[in-house]
Amino acid sequence: MRALVKATPQPGLTLTQWPDPTPGPGEAIVRVKATSICGTDAHIYNWDEWARNRIHPPRIIGHEMCGEVVEVGPNVTLVSVGDYVAAESHITCGRCFQCRTGQAHVCRDYRILGVDRDGSYAEYVALPERVLWKTSPEIPPELACIQEPLGNAVDAALAEDLTGRTLLITGCGPTGLFATAVAKVAGAAVIIASDVSDYRLGLAKQLGAHHTINVKTDSPEQVAATILEMTGGEGVDTALEMSGDPTALHQTFRSVKNGGRVTLFGIPTGQVCFDLPNEIIFKGIRVYGVTGRRLFGTWYRLAGLFKAGLNVRPAVTHTFPMTEFARGFELIKSGQCGKVILYP
């Protein structure tokens, strides 16, 4: 089969011929219909410090995908040949305290598709049946393959009820854009989105943001004043920090009203200092850290949101055949895109 491989410890990927996978016990072979580029894949492509310490070439990367089951191994009972499926990329151990108490999304010993085992940037991928998610055939591949990162947005946005609430989303990368659409369908009263890119703020508008703020052109003081004006001097009920930028992190806590909620999803590149008494403690703020998705509660909730009218199509801005993968990664680097999809 054709596959995109991190063949050597240096920037880039190699499109090459690779042995077809075979299913082990409890595994299925999925013919990949579509697979999307994630920030993790960009780290591996660029071969930054995180990737150098985490990835051991050769490795087929990629983990956001959908496809068709074409073969099953021994003892497979959850899926059948012909099923249309997506996949949860976190392959949990099932043995640790977290897995055994309903918290598998923070498993102590999980493995990641495309990081710890060969992933979805290929024509075929072998996966444990327990991570496969049967998907409605009504959902086209370019949307079915992004259900996993959509789950991140669902978990971040809906940790508490948003109906009738005011919401700030800082960072309009793909997950921030998805969170905007989720908040809209969940009934948020006012959605304010901030970013440094007018292009991505335009996408946020298409996905349901009522107001957008470019923090590259507005000072932190102007941003704070704008948010207070939009919320009657109170601040927002809820804020989703999706960028990891230290300035945005401080802005998030300053913008939430006393007794509000902050969800942290963006990953800073280093340590960040806070004024804990004034930014969090004295304001009585609830802080929720998001890693991955709740398994598989978030997947069930997402299926319901699709039925309720969730529309994330504006966030999918580019599609390429897998042979043109370099164009996709260049777009990710430029920031002039939403979600980029590859077709093996």
Which residues are annotated as catalytic?
40, 43
- Dihedral-angle region of residue 94 (phi above 0 means left; psi in -120 to 50 means alpha; beta otherwise): left
SS3 per residue for the chain? CEEEEECCCCCCCEEEECCCCCCCCCEEEEEEEEEECCHHHHHHHHCCHHHHHHCCCCEECCCEEEEEEEEECCCCCCCCCCCEEEECCEECCCCCHHHHCCCHHHCCCCEEECCCECCCCECEEEEEHHHEEECCCCCCHHHHCCHHHHHHHHHHHCCCCCCCCEEEEECCCHHHHHHHHHHHHCCCCEEEEEECCHHHHHHHHHHCCCEEEECCCCCHHHHHHHHHHHCCCCCEEEEEECCCCHHHHHHHHHHEEEEEEEEECCCCCCCCCCCHHHHHHCCCCEEEECCCCCCCHHHHHHHHHHHCCCCCHHHEEEEEEHHHHHHHHHHHHHCCCCEEEEEC
- Burial bucket for residue 311 (CB in 10 Å: 0-12, 13-18, 19+): middle
User: Rounded to whole angstroms, how far apart are CA atoms 342 and 9?
Assistant: 23
User: Rounded to whole angstroms, how far apart are CA atoms 326 and 330?
Assistant: 6
